[in-house]
């Protein structure tokens, strides 16, 4: 029997996810909006071409979700309050949350603005999770959900069952009972496209994927991905929580145009402009970029991404711009363009 079954002191992983984080920060700044449908994205103008960054739970009841065009969100909920994104405000609140978590008897591994893994040794992980929730609320007034697991995968998935503002434990003991009948995209690491491919192979549920032949999975999905999908279905995952600050893997800039771009010279000029902004972000980060990617969204809503690896890591603006334009040449610009983006990916941190 393990600690999950006996209640003895053991090693646990908690996954903390700040509920509706961006919307919650905005509501904290504008208390009069509490209880109303709030949508954050772009400049806050639903008439512009931009997408939803996040939506409050009240807005989600109307089917509004992240990535949806603001115009669509406005049609679904005309009475929603639309606000512009304010990255600096979200960063500041996130840093306060993570600093507060580091005061607890846990190891904190930051995943992003609104989530972190906590490594802890305790006999009562639920009590610790409740303490985490109280700490976050006291420091910021925000609500969070906490998943408890015996590895990172299970802790992360547990948070989904905890939302909103709850605590849930998912371990080897209850994995089959909770997960077996769910579709494969319920697993962290399997998206809708992969789930469709798995379904085409007759593997529609977590249980079916767990029973699949590793050799057949390797033959169909590749020697690494195929068997890895099965490991996910079995609930396997890392148990190591590393106390390192969140380090961005990339810096990116993108623009949604109020009118479609069709002139190639104009498209190239916009990519060059975005590359220049990304180069300044790379300089501010103080780390060289290793790859450059370009995203193009064609009208009405087809998105493609291409990337290239640089000859050597660099932060040189001219090199990044030339690389972005070279990647742009790999697109067939035969349709109107509604969005352009440029991303610089950093070298992985050196092993220590």
Which residues are annotated as catalytic?
A: 115
Let me know: does 146 contact 162? Beta carbons within 8 Å: yes
**Contact indicator for 125, 148 with CB cutoff of 8 Å:** yes
Nearest-angstrom CA–CA distance, 52 and 42? 7
With contact defined as beta carbons under 8 Å apart, do 344 and 316 qualify? no
For residues 250 and 344, the answer to whether their CB atoms sit within 8 Å is: yes
Question: Burial level of 67, CB count in 10 A (0-12/13-18/19+)?
Answer: exposed
């Amino acid at each position: 029997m393990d600690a999950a079954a006996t209640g003895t002191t053991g090693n646990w992983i908690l996954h903390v996810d700040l509920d509706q984080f961006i919307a919650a920060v905005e509501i904290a700044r504008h208390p009069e909006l509490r209880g109303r449908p709030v949508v954050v994205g772009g400049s806050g103008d639903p008439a512009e071409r931009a997408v939803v960054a996040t939506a409050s739970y009240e807005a989600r009841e109307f089917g509004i979700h992240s990535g949806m065009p603001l115009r669509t969100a406005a049609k679904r909920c005309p009475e929603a309050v639309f606000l512009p994104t304010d990255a600096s405000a979200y960063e500041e609140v996130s840093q306060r949350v993570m600093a507060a978590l580091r005061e607890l008897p846990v190891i904190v591994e930051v995943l992003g603005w609104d989530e972190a893994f906590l490594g802890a040794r305790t006999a009562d992980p639920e009590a610790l999770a409740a303490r985490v929730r109280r700490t976050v609320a006291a420091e910021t007034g925000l609500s969070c959900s906490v998943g408890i697991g015996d590895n990172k995968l299970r802790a992360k998935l547990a948070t989904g069952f905890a939302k909103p503002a709850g605590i849930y434990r998912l371990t080897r003991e209850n994995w089959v009972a909770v997960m077996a009948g769910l579709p494969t995209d319920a697993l962290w690491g399997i998206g809708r496209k992969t789930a469709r491919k798995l379904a085409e192979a007759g593997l529609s549920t977590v249980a079916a994927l767990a029973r699949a032949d590793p050799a057949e999975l390797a033959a169909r999905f590749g020697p690494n991905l195929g068997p890895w999908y099965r490991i996910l279905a079995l609930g396997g995952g890392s148990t190591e929580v590393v106390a390192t600050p969140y380090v961005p893997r990339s810096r990116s800039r993108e623009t949604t145009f109020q009118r479609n771009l069709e002139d190639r010279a104009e498209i190239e000029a916009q990519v060059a402009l975005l590359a220049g902004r990304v180069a300044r972000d790379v300089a501010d980060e103080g780390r060289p970029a290793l790859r450059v990617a370009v995203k193009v969204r064609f009208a009405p809503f087809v998105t493609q991404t291409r990337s290239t690896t640089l000859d050597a890591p660099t932060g040189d603006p001219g090199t990044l711009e030339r690389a972005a334009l070279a990647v742009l040449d790999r697109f067939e610009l035969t349709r109107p363009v509604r969005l352009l983006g440029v991303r610089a990916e950093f070298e992985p941190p050196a092993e220590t």
